[in-house]
Amino acid sequence: MSYATINPATGQTEKTFPAHTPAEVEELLAQAFDTFLEYRTTSYAERARHLMNAADLFEGEAPDIARIVTTEMGKTFAAARAEASKCALGLRWFAEHSEALLADQPISTGASRSYVRYQPIGPVLAIMPWNFPLWQVVRFAAPALMVGNVGLLKHASNVPQTALLLEDIFRRAGLPAGAFTNLFIESKDIAALIEDPRIAAVTLTGSEKAGMSVAASAGHALKKSVLELGGSDPFIVLASADLDDAVRTAVTARVQNNGQSCIAAKRFIVVEPVADEFLRRFTGAMDALVVGDPFDPATQVGPIVSEAQRAELLGQIEEARSQGAVVHGGGEPLEGPGWYLKPTVLSGVTPDMPVAQEELFGPVAIVERVPDLDAALKVANSTSFGLGSSVWTNDEEEQRRCIDELEAGAVFVNAMVVSTPELPFGGIKRSGFGRELSELGLKEFTNAKTVWIT
């Protein structure tokens, strides 16, 4: 097996990289573990300095970084630059706040003194996806490194240059060899790596299938795991909403990252009084999007990441059409090289259709009509996913009900779902468990040690 850069805008293979041999993996793992034994004793100030240096590199080299990301997975160049900048933001947040958040936590007990101390646990294996190949890695690496853990990255096989770039940035930021290590390994080798006693924990962002496999391996090895899996996020539009703002944001929320985001809005659940108008405006705006070369500044939607991913989307669209759904625009591949798909809207989708339960990982949206808020909440909660959700209403009671009743890891009111360093990120149900980012994510891979002094 080899890792390969296959440009989704052209379909051409640009570079290939061999997988690490078993001997090389053993050498890298041994180095990571030995580095941990030393790195865990470093000060927060030293760790923060490394992260600040990495942030400077992400910002200073953003154009070059973005060029690699766009070439490997097809997001627009502007979006790739923004992702590099977001990495700098996340690194700085953890560098600035981790020491205070990890400070000993005094607890009042019968002891003369008692407290909780948060300590690192060891090398963390991260299995990361291609869709946000920088940010997904940084949001695991920044807290892990600030805690005093070290990281080993098994990145998606289609973003090898990005994986090497990340390793290089952390090395040039001053981190010791072994503190952040890239592994070119096959998926079949992950279970054995998790079993290795030198691996303390594992985190994965990816599909349900991958999540189940990693969770089973981690459970068998009795090791902590954090899973961030798929989503079929609802975007509820109620009658009191600012429809102009809702439609404008709905388009961005659906096609961000070429529609390939776990927290992209995918099901637009609209109450009857505004359903016709929303569908008319939304389909018009989706149809007007510029699809093309991700390096062209005019492009709003680039290619799908792979031929297989586009074929899966086309199959989902065709199945829905055959079952009675109405396809508004798009629904077909664009002619020419690359894996392009015109943004598509489906209406007339009923709960019994598979597409109503599946994740659509591309610029394909479902618009569902409902009579009222009760029905909207029932439809929103009807999937096995529970990652993010967005609700659009200016009625305070409706806002309260949605916040209370939506089954999701996040509820955004009159805004699209985003991830930010200050707030925890993660889901419920089949969207995974555990949290990334914020104080909660910082402490996921720590030993919360109870201290009692008589």
Which sequence positions are flagged as catalytic?
A: 228, 262
**Residues composing the chain:** 454
What distances in angstroms separate CA 283 from CA 35, 286, 354, 364, 381, one per listed residue?
54, 5, 22, 11, 24
Measured between alpha carbons, how far is 283 from 270 in angstroms, rounded to an integer?
14
Q: Residue 426: which of 216, 155, 143, 228 has the closest Cα?
A: 228
Tokens of 425: 């990120």
Measured between alpha carbons, how far is 378 from 380 in angstroms, rounded to an integer?
6
What distances in angstroms separate CA 11 from CA 48, 68, 308, one per listed residue?
41, 15, 11
Measured between alpha carbons, how far is 78 from 80 in angstroms, rounded to an integer?
5
CB 225 within 8 A of CB 426: no
What are the residues facing 371 on neighbouring strands?
none
Q: Report strand pairing: 150-154 vs 123-127.
A: parallel
Q: Taking each helix axis as running N to C, give the angle between helix 135-147 and helix 44-60, from 0 to 180 degrees, rounded to the nearest 10.
A: 160
Measured between alpha carbons, how far is 353 from 415 in angstroms, rounded to an integer?
28
CB 50 within 8 A of CB 151: no
Measured between alpha carbons, how far is 50 from 85 in angstroms, rounded to an integer?
17
Measured between alpha carbons, how far is 67 from 75 in angstroms, rounded to an integer?
10
